[in-house]
Amino acid sequence: MFSNYPLTVLLVLLVCMSSAYLKQIPSYITLCKRDQSTIDKCAREAVEALRPKLIAGIPELNVPSIEPFYIPEIKTTEGELANLRASAKDVKVSGGGDFTIKSLNVDLDTFTIRARVRFPKLHLEGLYKLNTRILVVPLKGQGNMVADAVKCDAELVLYSEVEQRDGKEYIRFKKLDTDINIKDYRIRLDGLFNGDKALGDATNEAINQNRGEFLKATKPHLERTVSRILLDAANKIVDGVALDDLLLKP
């Protein structure tokens, strides 16, 4: 439930690598050469240079602002907590502009992109629905949600293959592995037990004591969602663009 920011960063990386995505390359886009000795450094510097634009948003590239960033819906899958059903909508996430690229590698032989991105602190606000059980106590409610997460890491590996069409080579992204890890978080749900403060406070404390299980239930759906969205968007970016046009020749 904690971010589409890695998606935005890698999409911008792909745009930085492409010299054919726009009819006229904006001055703030750093073009990278097809040179293994320089591609990692170039791609990393290109994303860093775009940080102000990422915070403001880049409408011409269909890249939304990451400060704040809005997630339409988040869902959980069942974890070790029995019958856990939870969702959040209209989630506003703050803190994404303070990301750090821990590592970034572009393999020009296989066109595999590997990246690890950290968000030191994220603040989330949205609307939730919850139906679960902690020990023998059933929990059901809906209302406002506030959460704070720290040290949010995302590791992504984007795999590619090269296709031959009309005598030219084209790249297609075939698979994305996503691993999202959150060091810790605290969450507050209002509206439990029809707004009873004492029961609500006690329940929120119980939820936070079991927050590891809630995170396990959220993680698979989040990783699949990020992988699916990024893979589709990445292929749209490179669709119809010859590989020789995608990266500048050294």
Give how many domains the chain has, as a whole number.
1
Q: For every residue of the chain, which 3-state class applies, written as one string?
A: CCCCHHHHHHHHHHHHHCCCCCCCCCCCCCCCECCCCCHHHHHHHHHHHCHHHHHHCEHHHCECCCCCEEEEEEECCCCCCCCCEEEEEEEEEECHHHCEEEEEEEECCCCEEEEEEEEEEEEEEEEEEEEEEECCEEEEEEEEEEEEEEEEEEEEEEEEEEEEECCEEEEEEEEEEEEEEEEEEEEEECCEHHHCHHHHHHHHHHHHHCHHHHHHHHHHHHHHHHHHHHHHHHHHHHCCCEHHHHCECC
Q: What is the pTM of this model?
A: 0.72
pLDDT digits (tens), the chain, 250 positions? 444 444 445 555 555 544 344 445 567 767 778 888 988 888 888 778 878 887 887 776 666 777 887 777 777 655 444 456 777 788 888 888 888 888 888 898 888 889 888 889 989 899 988 777 665 667 777 888 899 989 888 888 989 888 888 888 787 888 889 888 888 889 898 888 777 788 888 888 888 887 887 777 777 777 777 777 777 767 766 666 677 766 667 6
| CATH number, position 158 | 3.15.10.30
State which residues form the domain around 205.
5-246
